[in-house]
Amino acid sequence: GEGHPFFDSKVRAYFPKQGENVLIPIDWIERAVERWKDWKNAGAIQPKEPIKLGCDISEFGGDSTTLIWKVGNIVTNIWRKRWKKADKEEPLMQIAGMLKNEVAKGVKVSFDPIGIGAGVGSRLREQGIRITPVNFAEKTLKRDESGFLEFLNVRAWCWWKLREAFDPNGANPIA
């Protein structure tokens, strides 16, 4: 009924600031958005660090291809596109071209090589373009910032690194 967290979230779209078993508290995300707005309002000055680009490539269907540019602790741009079923080579060609252009500008590109990402990676390797594959299912020896937590695979480690990046008490929280 009214006032119950389930009712508030499903009917009124009010979500609790904190919950049990939450990896990244919504409050941390909201604070990161505010830090980003402050950065943008201050003139969006680029940090003096290398630009990194992460790319998750999808085919047609419910998923979107997503590219995220990051400089230091600032997410500077997000590009998303959902492909239509009629698009066969279009996603491969467009994404390969975009990544090739970014590498030419000195951007460090990482991508998910599973599925359609394998085709993009192969196409770029044939052209001598260096991008870094990140297989999220692979095992990892990486640990959290404290050095205490171990992770089953790269995916789990990346999710934890994202949590650490959003932590407003961290050394350099993301914006």
SS3 111: strand
Average pLDDT over residues 129-156: 92
CA atoms within 13 A on the CB side of 166: 18
Q: What is the pLDDT of residue 160?
A: 94
pTM of the model as a whole: 0.79
Q: What is the mean predicted confidence (pLDDT) over 74-79?
A: 93
Instruction: Report d(CA 72, CA 22) in Å as an integer.
Output: 25
For position 92, what pLDDT does the model report?
75
Going by pLDDT thresholds of 50, 70 and 90, the confidence category of residue 130 is confident
